Amino acid sequence: MQNKRHDLEMSLRGILRGFGLKVGQTTPRNFEARVRELADGQQTLLVVADAMLLARAVLVEQLGKLQKRLVSLARQDTRARLLMSTPGVGVLVALTYVAAIDDPARFRSSKAVGAHFGLTPKKYQSGETDVTGRISKIGDASVRTALYEAANVILTRPVRGSLLKSWAMRVAKRTGMRKAKVALARKLAVILHRMLANGSAFVAGKAAAKA
C-alpha cells in the first residue's frame, strides 16, 4: 500500500509537470493541498487530480488501519515485544523476524542466522583463488529488507544502544556506509536470534561487545 500510494503521488507530480507545474517538496499531510493549489483554475486537471487524490486518500486510510493492526499484534506477542527493546527494531521488523524464525531452536547457532537470510558474503575458492563477493541474498528477502532498514535507522537517526552504533560507524569508516549497514543487519540477525533463544531483552554493552 505504501508503494501504491507513492506511485500515485509520483504520477500526479508527472501530470502536473506536463502542465508546467512543479509540486516541489511536500509532507504526507500537505501533499493534497499543494496539488489542489496548483490545479486550481484548470478544470480538466482538477478532474484528474480529484480522482487520483481520492484513490490516494483510500490507500492512506487503509494503510493506517493496517498499521494499527500490526501494533496490536505486536503488543499481544511477547517475542515481538522482546525484540522491540532493540534500537531500530519496530513493529514491522519484530513481527517479520519472529514469523521467519518461528522456533529459535531449529538453528544450531545464532551465527547461522545471518547466512540463512542471505546476509553473508559469497565465497569462490579454486586452487590459489579465494574471492569474497557480495552477500548471497538467499532466503527470505522480506527479513533481509527488514533487518537492513533497522540497521539504517540505527546508523542515520539518534537511537538507544549507542555502543552498537559506534561499532557500525567504525565499520563505515573502513568500508563505506552501505557495507556497514549490511554488516549491522547481519549482527542484528544474530543478536535478535540470541534474544529469542534466551528470552532476554536487548543489552547495549553486551551486544556491542559481541559485535
- 127 lies in the same domain as 42: no
- 155 lies in the same domain as 124: yes
- 192 lies in the same domain as 121: yes
- 96 lies in the same domain as 197: yes
Tell me the DSSP string of the chain. -HHHHHHHHHHHHHHHHHTT----S--TTTHHHHHHHHHTT-HHHHHHHHHHHHHHHHHHHHHHHHHHHHHHHHHH-HHHHHHTTSTT--HHHHHHHHHHHS-GGGSS-TTHHHHHTT-SEEEEEETTEEEEEEE---S-HHHHHHHHHHHHHHHHS--S-HHHHHHHHHHHHHH-HHHHHHHHHHHHHHHHHHHHHHT----HHHHHHH-
Domain that holds residue 63: 2-74
- 126 lies in the same domain as 184: yes
* The predicted structure's pLDDT at residue 122: 65
Number of domains in the chain: 2
* The predicted structure's pLDDT at residue 131: 43
- 102 lies in the same domain as 202: yes
* The predicted structure's pLDDT at residue 205: 59
- 85 lies in the same domain as 44: no
- 121 lies in the same domain as 181: yes
| pTM attached to this predicted model | 0.77
* The predicted structure's pLDDT at residue 138: 82
pLDDT tens track of the chain, all 211 residues? 999 999 999 999 999 999 999 999 999 999 999 999 999 999 999 999 999 999 999 999 999 999 999 999 999 999 999 999 998 999 999 999 999 999 999 999 999 999 899 988 765 555 554 444 577 788 889 999 999 999 999 999 887 656 888 899 999 999 999 999 999 999 999 999 999 999 988 886 555 555 4
* The predicted structure's pLDDT at residue 133: 55
Picking from 20, 52, 74, the residue at the C-terminal end of a domain is 74
- 99 lies in the same domain as 203: yes
- 192 lies in the same domain as 160: yes
* The predicted structure's pLDDT at residue 143: 94
Picking from 18, 48, 74, the residue at the C-terminal end of a domain is 74
- 12 lies in the same domain as 28: yes
* The predicted structure's pLDDT at residue 71: 95
